[in-house]
Structure 1
Amino acid sequence: MAFQCQRDCYMKEFVTTVVSCCPAELKQEVNGKKETLKGFNVKLQDTVLFPEGGGQPDDHGLIGDVPVLRVTRQGPDALHFVSSPLDEGQEVHVKVDWERRFDHMQQHSGQHLITALADTFFGYKTTSWELGRQRSTIELDTPSVKPGQLQALEEAVNEKIRAHVPVTVQLLSIDDPAVEKVRSRGLPEDHAGPIRIIDIEGIDANMCCGTHVSNLSHLQVIKLLGTEKGKKNKTNLIFLAGNRVLKYAEKSYSTERSLVSLLKTGPDEHVEAVDKLQKSVKLLQKTNLTLLRDMAVLIAQNFKNDPQRGNFFSLHKKEGDNEFMNIIANEINTEETLVFLTVGEEKGPGLFVLAGPSGPVAEMGPRVLEILQGKGAGKNGRYQGKANSLARRGEVEALLQQHCKHRTSEEE
């Protein structure tokens, strides 16, 4: 049996009856975290909400005022996951999220058209496809697609759209000889009922359960964004169809206007302007690094020239890196002096170096690491690593000063 959404893909609302409602769970990912929702699987007499299948995501919508969070197929039935229970035998009004549905129709029919013409023109077979949230991808059985082929394919698919080619749905029995003549990647094991064929007149006949436009003109336009290297000598062709092209153009124009404001140049000069900026940044980074190195030497010399210097030196700077700290440690005679250096935000993450006589460094290094909540290691009189928080830097400094005073009194 075909669902109402498959018999009439343009129907947005439908009245039907609840057949069953059973407790169920839905596993989903929210903001990168996996969650399990408790709810109910509702089976309806018929539905305008498409269950996931054929590479097409499921529909969203409402049963009455209850949101449908997921629709899956189970044999001849569609299961609607909802958070609130519905009464068996209850008559309900089902409404589809039309913006989401029509977007899926455009992308899916667009995929059929691109797949058919890529095969006709170049013999490139489609091995899989993905309807993504922002862009869709067709996996072609070829190691590469030439730029000229990509351009020719885009021109051809848009020519068919302008030609107002009809798209029809046929329902055939599984033993119908016509079934053997259509494209197919096989039927699911739990398939039930007639075979559904999507026929783009004169272009393609393909076995498919998804929702489609009734005429290629409803696709509006298709844009082939380019290709990426796929797996096992295959190529991923990236495309947009219909309203996604309009949204992409709007977003691109908004970005272009922002760049005009920031770069103070016209769109045609953006690449050149960014290239100049990158070269300027690299030069500034190189100059800054040279200055940091010179500063490190001066800091160490000032300490060594101080007649009041003791056997402990501590310094924190917001700017710097491991090289900056190691230059200071190398310039100071760490055989006699314990050196504690940090760079980074005062109460945030950063880097640290503890250098000095090998005995005290080996003894105090793990304690410093613990207080700074960091990771690191040491050998040959130097202990260094990353600190998750420099908020307790003062505590480390006091601990090291106390250690130095204790060591000095023992020597006396």
Structure 2
Amino acid sequence: MAFQCQRDCYMQEFITTVVSCSPAELKVENSGKNEKVTGFNVILKDTILFPEGGGQPDDRGTIGTVPVLRVTRQGSEAVHFVESALEVGLEARLKVDWERRFDHMQQHTGQHLVTALADTMFGYKTTSWELGRQRSTIELNTAVVKPGEMEALEKAVNQKIRDRVAVTVQLLSLDDPVVEKVRTRGLPDDHAGPVRIIDINGVDANMCCGTHVSNLSHLQVIKILGTEKGKKNKTNLIFLAGNRVLKYAERSYSTERSLTSLLKTGAGDHVEAVDKLQKSVKVLQKNNLNLLRDMAVLIAQNFKNNPNRGKLFCLHRKDGDNEFMNIIANEIGTEDTVLFLTVGDEKGMGLFLLTGPVGIVDELGPRVAELLEGKGAGKNGRFQGKANRMARRGEVEALLQERSHHCSSLEE
């Protein structure tokens, strides 16, 4: 069947009846983690909330005052997931999140237009597409595109928008001869009812279940951001349509103003200014590394020249690295001295190195990693790794002191 959202994509409110309501669970993403939400699957007599399909995400909205968290299609039914039970037979008013819906209409119709003209102009077929949260991607069956093709394609699609080409919807039976002539990647296995054809007048006719604008002028504009290498000799074309172009321009201008303020240069000089800044940073990093290496040698020599040095040397430095620790270890030597060196956040994450007599290091290395709540490995008298809780360095030093008579401890 065709839902009301497919018969009239612009309808924002609709009165319908609750047909069924059954307990259900839904997996939702919360702060990057999947969580299970307990609720109910609701089937309505008809709906203006589009269920996910055809590469288009589902709608959001409300049934009465109850938010709809997900809409999926099961056969000929649209299933609405809500957290509160709804009485069967209840007459309810549906409202669609129009901003989300119209955005999806613009991106989806934009994809049809770009796909059709990429095929007509260059013979590039669309093999898949993704309507992303910020930008959309069309996968083309070509390993490369030639210089100038995307510029020509963008010019052509925007001309069709300016021509105000009509977009119509037809519902045809599967055996209708017209169906055989339209572009399609195949019907889903559980398809039931008439075949829905989206016809961009004189441009493209395509089987599609999604929601679309009724005229290309409603797309406003399409911006092809560029292409990137896809999988298996494919090319991904990245584009924005309609309001997303306006939002992109707004974000870009805001970024431009911020960079102008930070770099103290006009927009046209931003790239050159950042390039100079990066080169300066590389020079500073190189100088800093050289200073750290020199400091590591001096620290080691100072310890070796100390007549009262013990059998244990402990050091932490916030801005060191693995090379810094290894230089100290190499300079001091580990035949009869245990070295416990750490770099990084004094209380959080960092790196550690334990060196010394093979027997002691083999015995205590795993214990040191455990105390620092990290992981490590080693051989030949060296055990090093990553620490997640550097604040426990004191416990490690106490453990090592049990095996030594004296500890020369230096904290910088």
What's the TM-score bracket when you normalise by the shorter of the two chains? Answer: over 0.9
The 3 A distance-change label for structure 1 pair 147 and 30 is farther
For 2:392, the equivalent position in structure 1 comes to 392
For 1:369, the equivalent position in structure 2 comes to 369
Task: Give the drift of 1:11.
Answer: 0.7
For 1:108, the equivalent position in structure 2 comes to 108
Cα distance in 1 for partners of 2:30, 2:402 equals 50
For 1:267, the equivalent position in structure 2 comes to 267
The 3 A distance-change label for structure 1 pair 189 and 405 is same
For 1:277, the equivalent position in structure 2 comes to 277
Cα distance in 2 for partners of 1:40, 1:126 equals 37
SS in 2 for 1:54: coil
Task: Give the drift of 1:320.
Answer: 0.9
**One-letter code aligned to 1:53:** G
Task: Give the drift of 1:27.
Answer: 2.3
1:23 maps onto 2:23 in alignment = yes
Task: Give the drift of 1:169.
Answer: 1.1
- Where in structure 2 are the equivalents of 1:7-406 lying within 5 Å? 7-405=7-405
**One-letter code aligned to 2:354:** L
Q: Please report the RMSD computed on the Cα atoms of aligned residues, expressed in angstroms.
A: 1.7
**One-letter code aligned to 1:317:** R
The 3 A distance-change label for structure 1 pair 378 and 209 is closer
Task: Give the drift of 1:294.
Answer: 0.9
Task: Give the drift of 1:401.
Answer: 2.7
Cα distance in 1 for partners of 2:351, 2:123 equals 57
The 3 A distance-change label for structure 1 pair 394 and 168 is same
Cα distance in 1 for partners of 2:401, 2:72 equals 67
SS in 1 for 2:95: strand
Share of identical aligned residues, percent?
A: 79
TM-score, length of structure 1 as denominator length: 0.95
**One-letter code aligned to 2:119:** D
Cα distance in 1 for partners of 2:116, 2:260 equals 41
Cα distance in 1 for partners of 2:325, 2:298 equals 12
- Provide, for residues 257-313 of structure 1, a one-character-per-residue CA deviation record: whole Å limited to 9, x for no partner: 111111111111111111111111111111111111111111122222223223332
**One-letter code aligned to 2:345:** E
- The range that moved more, 326-335 or 115-124, is 326-335
**One-letter code aligned to 1:25:** E
SS in 2 for 1:391: helix
Cα distance in 2 for partners of 1:150, 1:99 equals 29
Point out where structure 1 has 5 or more consecutive residues left out of the alignment.
407-412
Cα distance in 1 for partners of 2:21, 2:378 equals 64
- The range that moved more, 130-139 or 302-311, is 302-311
**One-letter code aligned to 1:199:** D
Cα distance in 2 for partners of 1:80, 1:393 equals 54
Cα distance in 1 for partners of 2:26, 2:370 equals 42
The 3 A distance-change label for structure 1 pair 381 and 172 is closer
Task: Give the drift of 1:206.
Answer: 1.1
- The range that moved more, 103-112 or 12-21, is 12-21
Task: Give the drift of 1:62.
Answer: 0.6
Cα distance in 2 for partners of 1:123, 1:8 equals 33
**One-letter code aligned to 2:181:** K
**One-letter code aligned to 2:250:** E
TM-score, length of structure 2 as denominator length: 0.95
The 3 A distance-change label for structure 1 pair 41 and 374 is closer
Cα distance in 2 for partners of 1:185, 1:136 equals 19
- The range that moved more, 180-189 or 256-265, is 180-189
**One-letter code aligned to 2:234:** K
- The range that moved more, 385-394 or 199-208, is 385-394
The 3 A distance-change label for structure 1 pair 136 and 305 is same
Cα distance in 1 for partners of 2:380, 2:71 equals 64
Contact 2:310 2:405 in 1 (8 A): no
For 1:409, the equivalent position in structure 2 comes to none
Cα distance in 1 for partners of 2:76, 2:358 equals 75
**One-letter code aligned to 1:63:** I
SS in 1 for 2:320: coil
SS in 2 for 1:133: coil
Cα distance in 2 for partners of 1:343, 1:54 equals 52
SS in 2 for 1:217: helix
Cα distance in 1 for partners of 2:385, 2:106 equals 54
Task: Give the drift of 1:333.
Answer: 4.2
Contact 2:56 2:108 in 1 (8 A): yes
- Provide, for residues 78-136 of structure 1, a one-character-per-residue CA deviation record: whole Å limited to 9, x for no partner: 11111111112111111111001100100111111111111111111111111111111
For 1:6, the equivalent position in structure 2 comes to 6
The 3 A distance-change label for structure 1 pair 2 and 362 is closer
Aligned residues: 407
Cα distance in 1 for partners of 2:383, 2:198 equals 69
For 2:409, the equivalent position in structure 1 comes to none
The 3 A distance-change label for structure 1 pair 278 and 45 is same
Cα distance in 2 for partners of 1:64, 1:226 equals 43
Task: Give the drift of 1:55.
Answer: 1.2
Cα distance in 1 for partners of 2:239, 2:227 equals 9
SS in 1 for 2:375: strand
Cα distance in 2 for partners of 1:101, 1:405 equals 73
**One-letter code aligned to 1:258:** S
- The range that moved more, 9-18 or 380-389, is 380-389
Task: Give the drift of 1:318.
Answer: 1.2
- The range that moved more, 217-226 or 279-288, is 279-288
Cα distance in 1 for partners of 2:135, 2:337 equals 61
